[in-house]
């Protein structure tokens, strides 16, 4: 895609990887973020770039809905770490425990019948993540939707 090629030439990508963005509006927003040099998931920037409300905040994590839910999903939550970390090895046991407490809360609160939980980490070539700042996706497929197709999560970029 030529538009992403020209963005790449602006300089090194630090916090986001536009190759892994999916929607036109998302790509436009990510261009803005790349030009700003800011991490979109760091708390000081989140309000600027993330338009859906925070549903729950714990000591270490925020729960919100993905502004660009995957196709065929009934729920697509994002769980965002409140400090900037990119690798699992940087997480403390307390941050890990807090994460699962929040997941249990969400399962009960939204009466989630089942679904999937995905956390990408590290090098975006391997993760296919669009934002490096550690975050997870909690997904409930919309199995009753006409023409439903199972939700598929991409891990790793084709070169």
Residue number closest to Zn ion, CB atom: 39
Q: How far is the CB of 57 from Zn ion (least distance, A)?
A: 16
Q: How far is the CB of 149 from Zn ion (least distance, A)?
A: 32
Q: How far is the CB of 116 from Zn ion (least distance, A)?
A: 24
Beta strands in the chain (DSSP E): 54-57, 61-65, 73-81, 116-119, 135-141
Nearer to Zn ion, 29 or 39 (CB): 39
Nearer to Zn ion, 115 or 122 (CB): 122
Beta strands in 18-120 (DSSP E): 54-57, 61-65, 73-81, 116-119
Q: How far is the CB of 114 from Zn ion (least distance, A)?
A: 30
Q: 142, 74 in Cβ contact below 8 A?
A: yes
Name the nearest CA neighbour of 82 among 103, 97, 99, 68.
99
Chain centroid, CA 96 distance in Å: 17
Nearer to Zn ion, 19 or 38 (CB): 38
Q: Which residues bind Zn ion (CB under 5 A)?
A: 39, 41-42, 84, 133
């Amino acid at each position: 895609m030529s538009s992403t090629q020209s963005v790449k030439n602006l300089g090194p990508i630090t916090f986001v990887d536009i190759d892994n963005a999916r929607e036109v509006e998302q790509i436009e927003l990510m261009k803005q973020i790349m030009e700003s040099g800011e991490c979109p998931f760091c708390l000081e920037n989140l309000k600027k770039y993330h338009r859906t409300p925070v549903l729950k905040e714990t000591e270490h994590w925020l729960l919100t809905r993905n502004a660009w839910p995957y196709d065929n999903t009934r729920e697509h939550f994002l769980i965002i770490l409140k400090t900037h970390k990119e690798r699992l090895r940087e997480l403390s046991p307390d941050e890990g425990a807090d994460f699962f407490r929040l997941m249990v809360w969400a399962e009960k609160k939204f009466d989630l019948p089942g679904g999937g939980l995905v956390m990408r980490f590290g090098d975006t070539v391997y993760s296919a993540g669009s934002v490096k700042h550690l975050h997870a996706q909690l997904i409930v497929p919309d199995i009753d939707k006409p023409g439903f197709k199972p939700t598929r999560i991409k891990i790793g970029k084709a070169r």
